[in-house]
């Protein structure tokens, strides 16, 4: 009993609950199915352990599984690193360049962003990944990217085993009409006496695992290339979006500014080393960063403040004229609203007739904005923003966002 208590502590149970989410459940199920079926297919039908090649193949399959799980769980449980609660820079004057987070009651350090799901300000936040049920950021970016590389490689190996198992076992059974399908693959075809017959259930399991392996290879492989693209430029997905908005702002207002992304060190290898190190721990403390010689520590945060100001200027005030329950695909708001719901994890917000919304962006059928809150809610750090059907609101022509929006200086 004492041994069990030493392993499972009550303060660690919240970490165990991280697995109780659809993302890790699906991810670990795919890994388990592909790995177990590949191992069984190799041992029983295609490449038994009584051969040198079979033993090497078995060891490689085990190694893929161990490496994939090692990087997966490190990405999940090491986490991205969080800005300390109530953090502020040593120099009080530098707070004018930073946004203030009312939830964490502190300033957002450069490259950090508040994650509404983790409910903390995350160091160098890239995105919140549902597959690891955690954010991808400063501390776990390398592990997460390594997982994205190893998973497709392991699936490619497994897919080869699945294809060759089905070919080997069905070589003399496949026929279409009057002609049998005979392909000369004597170099890779292995003839031996299997431990058990290759029946319909084994064929169905192998075919299902093959579909999972190929789908994972394509989907996760694309994510890997996206991550490597931002890593070699020393950006995150959020920062790439900030840079794009900076260029749009400069072009819109014709300010003549030249925006230089501050964290691009000028070479792909130098940027790569900011994430991947031999020790596995990335460089830096997650608060101060090496920057381009044309920039300084607060170049990007100043740009974010400019974009916040521009966002408030462009926001439009709307009044709610129709209740909305916050459903992702509401049935009672029209077919176009139902079928053209935004494909994003951003929340939907409930609306009550008479409320006021400041909309900042939208589509033909949906809008995104912030609710106007009471002074008490603002003091408590409450912020309600998200998507809602356009048909539920109407534009307020008697007022503008500039003179009626609540003060949101250095807001979330």
Q: Which residues are identified as catalytic? A: 129
Phi, psi of 23 (to 5 degrees): -65, -60
Query: In degrees, to the nearest 5, what angle opens at C-alpha 113 toward C-alphas 107 and 115?
Result: 115
- Comparing CA positions, the residue from 376, 381, 375, 382 lying closest to residue 349 is 382
* R_g over Cα of the chain: 27
Please report the DSSP string for 323-368 in residue order: -B---SS-GGG-HHHHHT---SSSPB--B-TT-EEEEEEE-SSEEE
- Comparing CA positions, the residue from 256, 282, 285, 262 lying closest to residue 97 is 262
Phi, psi of 179 (to 5 degrees): -115, 140
Measured CA to CA, the distance from residue 332 to residue 349 in angstroms comes to 16
Helices assigned H by DSSP within 254-298: 268-273
The answer to whether the CB of 49 falls within 8 A of the CB of 68 is no
Phi, psi of 161 (to 5 degrees): -65, -45
CB burial of residue 182 (10 Å; 0-12, 13-18, 19+): exposed
Angle separating helix axes 200-231 and 141-170, nearest 10 degrees: 150
Which distant-in-sequence residues (6+ apart) come within 8 Å of 157 by Cβ? 38, 60, 61, 64
Buried b (16+ CB within 10 A) or exposed e, 32-58: ebbbebbbbbbbbbbbbeeeeebeebb
How many CB atoms sit inside 10 A of residue 69's CB? 16
Q: Collapsing DSSP states into helix, strand and coil, what is residue 128?
A: strand
Query: In degrees, to the nearest 5, what angle opens at C-alpha 310 toward C-alphas 365 and 406?
Result: 80
């Amino acid at each position: 009993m004492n041994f069990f208590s030493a392993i499972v502590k009550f303060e660690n149970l919240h970490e165990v609950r991280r697995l109780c989410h659809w993302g890790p459940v699906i991810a670990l199920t795919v890994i388990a199915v592909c790995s177990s079926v590949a191992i069984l297919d190799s041992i029983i039908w295609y490449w038994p352990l009584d051969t040198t090649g079979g033993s090497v193949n078995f060891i490689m399959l085990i190694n893929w599984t161990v490496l994939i799980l090692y990087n997966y769980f490190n990405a999940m449980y090491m986490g991205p690193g969080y800005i300390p609660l109530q953090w502020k820079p040593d120099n009080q004057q530098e707070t004018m360049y930073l946004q203030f987070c009312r939830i964490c009651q502190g300033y957002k350090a450069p490259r950090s962003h508040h994650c509404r799901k983790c409910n903390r300000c995350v160091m160098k936040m890239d995105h919140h990944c549902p597959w690891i049920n955690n954010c991808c950021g400063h501390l776990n970016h390398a592990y997460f990217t390594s997982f994205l590389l190893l998973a497709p490689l392991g699936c490619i190996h497994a897919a080869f085993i699945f294809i060759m198992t089905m070919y080997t076992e069905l070589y003399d059974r496949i026929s279409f009409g009057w002609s049998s399908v005979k392909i000369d693959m004597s170099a890779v075809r292995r003839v031996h006496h299997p431990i058990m017959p290759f029946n319909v259930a084994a064929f169905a399991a192998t075919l299902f695992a093959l579909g999972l392996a190929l789908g994972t290879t394509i989907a996760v492989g694309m994510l890997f290339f996206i991550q490597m693209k931002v890593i070699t430029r020393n950006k995150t997905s959020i920062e790439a979006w900030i840079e794009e908005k900076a260029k749009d702002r400069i072009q819109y207002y014709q300010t003549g500014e030249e925006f230089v992304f501050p964290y691009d060190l000028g070479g792909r290898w130098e940027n790569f080393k900011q994430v991947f190190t031999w020790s596995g721990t990335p460089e830096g403390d997650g608060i101060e960063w090496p920057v381009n010689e044309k920039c300084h520590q607060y170049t990007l945060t100043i740009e974010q403040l400019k974009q916040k100001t521009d966002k408030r200027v462009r926001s439009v005030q709307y009044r709610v004229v129709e209740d909305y329950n916050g459903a992702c695909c509401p049935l009672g708001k029209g077919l176009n609203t139902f079928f053209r719901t935004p494909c994003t994890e951003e929340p939907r917000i409930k609306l009550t007739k008479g409320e006021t919304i400041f909309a900042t962006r939208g589509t033909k059928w949906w809008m995104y904005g912030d609710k106007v809150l009471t002074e008490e809610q603002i003091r408590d750090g409450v912020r309600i923003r998200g998507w809602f059907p356009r048909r539920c609101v109407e534009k307020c022509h008697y007022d503008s966002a500039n003179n009626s929006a609540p003060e949101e200086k250095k807001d979330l």
